[in-house]
Amino acid sequence: MADLEVIDGGAVLVRDGLVEAVGRYREVKDQADDAEVIEIDGVLFPGFVDAHTHAVFGMARLDDYERRARGMDYKAIAAEGGGILSSVRDQRSRSADELRDLTSRRLHHLLAHGTTTVEVKSGYGLDTATELGALAVIGSLTAGPPAVVPTFLGAHEVPLEYRSRREDYVRLVIDEMLPAVAEQGIARFCDVFCEPGVFTPGESRRILEAARGHGLGLKLHADELDGSGGAELAAALDAVSADHLARISEEGITALAGSGTVAVLLPGTMLFLGRADRAPARALIDRGAAVALATDFNPGSSPAASLPLMATLGVSQLRMVPAEAVLAITANGAAAVGEAGTRGQIAPGFRADLALLAVRDWRELVYWYGSNLVAGVWIAGAACHPAGATINFLV
Ligand SMILES: [Zn+2]
């Protein structure tokens, strides 16, 4: 994972949206004398790939944040009407147009931080109509920019009306939501929140196996706040990714290291929640697992749009070296959304998704934390940021 090639005085030749050649300027120029030349100053990275977001949501949860600052825990906040179920109530009351407008504006913030592909989950509907509605909103934005990969997360939480009959909710996800999602072709992956108090490994397995039967790829929220064997389950099901992993077990590390499942770590979430747990990035990498970093962009536990910030946290909090952190938001992020062969690298045949940073040394990406150094973004060779001087409100 520390294998990163840096070209001084480099050039990228783009044709029909794909990288045709990359190398020293003069060598590349020789291959295409008639090409339009765009001179840039800085370091050009592969466009960043954010493999885990919950970017479809209505209101920001500012009250929850203040309550937490005053010392209230998750249960007390939920008892006052906050928490994830407040996002569910809010989303059920929104029109599709409102939700689309909010989501689109937020995705542009991710783009402005260099993200060219972003995975977006449903999961604040928790009833069939609202889940399908959220996926329709995501679907209307897939062309981007940024490009969007849609994931169905109906099993994000057990909604209030099913609390005394949770098996009925699992059945609703399997028997009603998944077939509808598959029939409409509006999700590429299915994800489940596998966590003590949310969905058990047994329930998660049933939902994910049903999803696979419908042709969906698999993802898993695993071992975030407490370990429950989620990483082992993700590896056993050959999921494309196992995400969070702050409380992964030794067995879980071994399972991921021996699998093709990418470990997607979300250090911004632990930081924002003020928790001391850290995903064991060092052990995962040293034992051979592929590690990606993502924002977990969501209104409750990580309202952060910046993948470069996550790369900084990967280095400072998870003890990754800078090259590992860069690969974690590019090539490995792409692998975690099933695009290892098409995005996340500046290499012939890859889509020409590029992020220009106003820096001299590539390691500055993980160094100037809190500053947005992105000076330009291209997707499939087309310039798509900066888009102008309009103020883009997040709420
Ligand atoms: Zn999540």
Q: How confident is the model at residue 394 (pLDDT cuts 50, 70, 90)?
A: low
Q: How many helices (H) and strands (E) does the chain have?
A: 16, 14
* CA–centroid distance, residue 31 to ligand 1 (Å): 44
The reported pLDDT for the residue numbered 395 is 65
Following DSSP, what letter does each residue of 72-99 receive, concatenated? Answer: --HHHHHHTT-SHHHHHHHHHTS-HHHH
Q: What is the pLDDT of residues 33-48, one digit of tens each?
A: 888 899 988 999 999 9
Does the pLDDT value for residue 1 go beyond 80?
no
Q: What is the pLDDT of residues 222-265, one digit of tens each?
A: 999 888 999 999 999 999 999 999 999 999 999 999 999 999 99
Let me know whether 242 and 268 are in one domain: yes
* CA–centroid distance, residue 36 to ligand 1 (Å): 42
**How many structural domains are present in the chain?**
2
* CA–centroid distance, residue 158 to ligand 1 (Å): 15
The reported pLDDT for the residue numbered 73 is 84
**Mean pLDDT, residues 89-108 taken together:** 96
Q: What is the pLDDT of residues 154-193, one digit of tens each?
A: 999 999 999 999 999 999 999 999 999 999 999 999 999 9
Let me know whether 14 and 112 are in one domain: no
Let me know whether 147 and 120 are in one domain: yes
Q: What percent of the chain has pLDDT over 90?
A: 86
Question: CB of 322 within 8 A of CB of 366?
Answer: yes
* CA–centroid distance, residue 84 to ligand 1 (Å): 11
The reported pLDDT for the residue numbered 389 is 42
* CA–centroid distance, residue 265 to ligand 1 (Å): 10
* CA–centroid distance, residue 320 to ligand 1 (Å): 22
Asked, for residue 3, whether it belongs to a domain, the answer is no
End-to-end CA distance of the chain: 37
Let me know whether 23 and 56 are in one domain: no
The reported pLDDT for the residue numbered 388 is 47
Q: Name, in order, each residue with C-beta under 8 angstroms of 130's C-beta and a sequence gap of 6 or more.
A: 88, 91, 92, 124
Asked, for residue 391, whether it belongs to a domain, the answer is no
Q: What is the 3-state secondary structure (H, E, C) of 109-129?
A: HHHHCCEEEEEEECCCCCCHH
* CA–centroid distance, residue 243 to ligand 1 (Å): 8
* CA–centroid distance, residue 220 to ligand 1 (Å): 9
Token pair for residue 204?
């998660």
Residue 303, domain extent: 48-335
φ and ψ of 175, to 5 deg = -90, -25
* CA–centroid distance, residue 346 to ligand 1 (Å): 28
Nearest CA-CA partner of 311 in 258, 273, 355: 355
* CA–centroid distance, residue 34 to ligand 1 (Å): 46
Q: What percent of the chain has pLDDT over 70?
A: 97
Let me know whether 228 and 377 are in one domain: no
* CA–centroid distance, residue 143 to ligand 1 (Å): 22
Q: How confident is the model at residue 386 (pLDDT cuts 50, 70, 90)?
A: confident
* CA–centroid distance, residue 83 to ligand 1 (Å): 14
Let me know whether 277 and 307 are in one domain: yes
* CA–centroid distance, residue 43 to ligand 1 (Å): 31
* CA–centroid distance, residue 147 to ligand 1 (Å): 19
Distance of CA 217 to the CA centre of its chain: 15
**Mean pLDDT, residues 327-344 taken together:** 98
* CA–centroid distance, residue 205 to ligand 1 (Å): 18
Q: What is the pLDDT of residues 125-161, one digit of tens each?
A: 999 999 999 999 999 998 889 999 999 999 999 999 9
Helix (H) or strand (E) segment spanning residue 265: strand 262-265
Question: CB of 283 within 8 A of CB of 253?
Answer: yes
* CA–centroid distance, residue 221 to ligand 1 (Å): 6
